């Protein structure tokens, strides 16, 4: 029998790419998503690429009756928990909505898992938990918790909650994956990132400028202490990230307790480097202007990925060029996303 994996938030950007990787690796996939920031078309496309469909349950993770029912109805072996609200800027305006959604959904999920004796969990955390790093590259043991916004605090609080769960009951096997900056799309252009409304993140914003739905990029600050003054980040291809989840899942099956792994490339690139590379790939000029720094932004952030390499045998393979090529393929073939 194939192992059944529950993927929360599986209609979203990273969840859909990971659901595909799971199907391709031979798992059966059940997705729960309330479609608050996604479209079920993503899952239809996942099914098209994989040649078999994930089972899609449209619903909210905070609905305890529904989540318990899913575990009663299906022999789920492990859970990959992507579902969350993720806009930093929105979280500053609506902190309660962020804490409520992200914390209550995780608590409801963990309770339903424990009720069903399912203890394998992979959680989507973020480099945001490191706050402003005092040194780079950032390793997993570096200080966390100095986060500057409610979204980041919700991730940090969940990390602590999961560590307490694992401490209280050794049956829990938990992987906390701290993503750096996921970008790109499946190279076939069928699935990709389709943010609702105005994109917050650099690459989706550039894509929309290139496709003509936004006029120009605002570069948030060119006076950072970096080589060209613009912010430096560790961009990672979403396919590498998806692959990292499969490696983490394999690893926690073999050992108990809580593990934390950074998922990044270990390389930093500046906003201007990303912009120039994108212009080369797309052949389209990206008009931009320098704007004030974005509150809460940091100068430089990139990962020490040696722990994931050593313990998971996982390493990011795709280059920045490939990430931007695939982001552009997705955006140019789907100028309106899934709409």
Q: How far is the CB of 177 from ligand UFG (least distance, A)?
A: 12
Q: How many degrees, rounded to 5, is the angle at CA 265 between CA 264 and CA 269? A: 105
Instruction: Specify the stretch interacting with ligand NAD by CB under 6 A; choose among 80-88, 295-303, 309-317, 321-329.
Output: 80-88
- Smallest gap from Cβ 231 to ligand UFG, in A, equals 2
Residue 232: its H or E element: strand 232-233
Residue 2 CA, distance from chain mean position: 25
CA angle 13, 124, 302 (to 5 degrees): 90
Q: Which of 19, 61, 88, 303 touches ligand UFG by CB under 6 A? A: 88
Binder to ligand UFG among 297, 309, 311, 322 (CB under 6 A)?
A: 297
CB of 5 closer than 8 Å to CB of 24: no
Supply the minimum distance, in Å, between the C-beta of residue 297 and ligand UFG.
Answer: 5
Catalytic, 151? Answer yes
- Span near ligand UFG by CB under 6 A; candidates 63-71, 198-206, 260-268, 330-338: 198-206
Considering only residues 21, 28, 29, 34, which one is a binding residue for ligand NAD as defined by CB under 6 A?
A: 34
Q: Show the tokens assigned to 114.
A: 């424990």
Please give the residues from 147 up to 206 whose contact with ligand NAD meets the rule CB under 6 A. 179, 182
Residues of this chain, 37-66, that bind ligand NAD according to CB under 6 A: 37-38, 60-62
Binders of ligand NAD in range 291-320 (CB under 6 A): none
R_g over Cα of the chain? 19
39 near ligand UFG, judged by CB under 6 A: no
Beta partners for residue 84, in sequence order: none
C-alpha triplet 137, 314, 177: angle, nearest 5°: 60
Q: Token digits for 169?
A: 């009951």
CA neighbor of 42 nearest in space, from 243, 201, 196, 237:
196
Q: Which is nearer to ligand NAD, 95 or 229 (CB)?
A: 95
Cα–Cα dist 8/79, whole Å:
8
Which of 220, 311, 332, 338: binder of ligand UFG (CB under 6 A)? 220
With tokens 């993720």, the residue in question is: 86
How far is Cα 149 from Cα 38, in angstroms, rounded to an integer?
A: 23
Report the distance separating Cα 154 and Cα 178, nearest Å: 13
- Among 151, 179, 205, 224, the one annotated catalytic: 151
Bridge partners (DSSP) of residue 334 are: none
Using rule CB under 6 A, residue 90 touches ligand UFG: no
105 near ligand NAD (CB under 6 A): yes
219 binds ligand UFG (CB under 6 A): yes
CA distances from 62 to 5, 14, 15, 71 (A): 19, 20, 18, 14
**332 near ligand UFG, rule: CB under 6 A:** no
Enclosing H/E stretch for 333: helix 320-333
User: Which region among 2-10, 67-75, 196-204, 308-316 touches ligand UFG (by CB under 6 A)?
Assistant: 196-204
The angle subtended at Cα 69 by Cα 66 and Cα 71, nearest 5°, is: 120
Nearest residue (CB) to ligand NAD, 62 versus 259: 62
Binds 109, which of ligand UFG, ligand NAD, none (CB < 5 to 8 A, cut-off by type)? none
String marking each residue 167-186 x if it binds ligand UFG according to CB under 6 A: --------------x-----
Structure-token match 């291809």, residue found: 237
Site for ligand UFG in 221-250 (CB under 6 A): 231, 233
Q: Which residues bind ligand UFG (CB under 6 A)?
A: 86, 88, 126-128, 152, 181, 200-202, 205, 217-220, 231, 233, 271, 294, 297
Q: Could you list the active site residues?
A: 151
Q: Which residues bind ligand NAD (CB under 6 A)?
A: 9, 11-15, 32-38, 60-62, 82-86, 101, 105, 124, 126, 179, 182
């Amino acid at each position: 029998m194939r192992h059944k994996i529950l993927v929360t938030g599986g209609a979203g950007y990273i969840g859909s790419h990971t659901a595909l990787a799971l199907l391709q690796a031979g798992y059966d996939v059940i997705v729960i998503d309330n479609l608050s920031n996604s479209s079920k078309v993503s899952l239809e496309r996942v099914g098209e690429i994989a040649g078999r469909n994930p089972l899609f349950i449209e619903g909210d993770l905070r609905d305890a009756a529904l989540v318990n029912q899913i575990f009663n109805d299906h022999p789920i072996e492990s859970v990959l928990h992507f579902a969350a609200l993720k806009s930093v800027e929105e979280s500053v305006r609506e902190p309660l909505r962020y804490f409520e959604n992200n914390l209550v959904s995780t608590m409801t999920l963990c309770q339903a898992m424990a009720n069903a004796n399912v203890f394998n969990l992979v959680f989507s955390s973020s480099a945001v938990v490191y706050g402003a790093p005092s040194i780079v590259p950032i390793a997993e043991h570096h200080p966390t918790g100095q986060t500057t916004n409610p979204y980041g605090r919700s991730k940090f609080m969940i990390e602590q909650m999961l560590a307490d769960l694992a401490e209280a009951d050794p049956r829990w096997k938990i992987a906390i994956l701290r993503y750096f900056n996921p970008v790109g799309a499946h190279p076939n252009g069928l699935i990709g990132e389709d943010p609702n409304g105005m994109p917050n993140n650099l690459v989706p914003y550039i894509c929309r400028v290139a496709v003509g739905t936004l006029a120009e990029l605002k570069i948030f600050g060119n006076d950072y202490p970096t080589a060209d003054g613009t912010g430096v980040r560790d961009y990672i291809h979403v396919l590498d990230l998806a692959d990292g989840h499969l490696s983490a899942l394999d690893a926690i099956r073999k050992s108990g307790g809580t593990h934390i792994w950074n998922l990044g490339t270990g390389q930093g690139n500046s906003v201007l480097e990303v912009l120039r590379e994108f212009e080369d790939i797309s052949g389209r000029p990206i008009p931009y202007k320098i704007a004030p720094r974005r509150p809460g932004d940091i100068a430089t952030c990139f990962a020490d990925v040696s722990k994931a390499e050593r313990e998971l045998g996982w390493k990011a393979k795709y280059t920045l060029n490939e990430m931007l090529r695939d982001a552009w393929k997705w955006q140019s073939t789907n100028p309106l996303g899934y709409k």
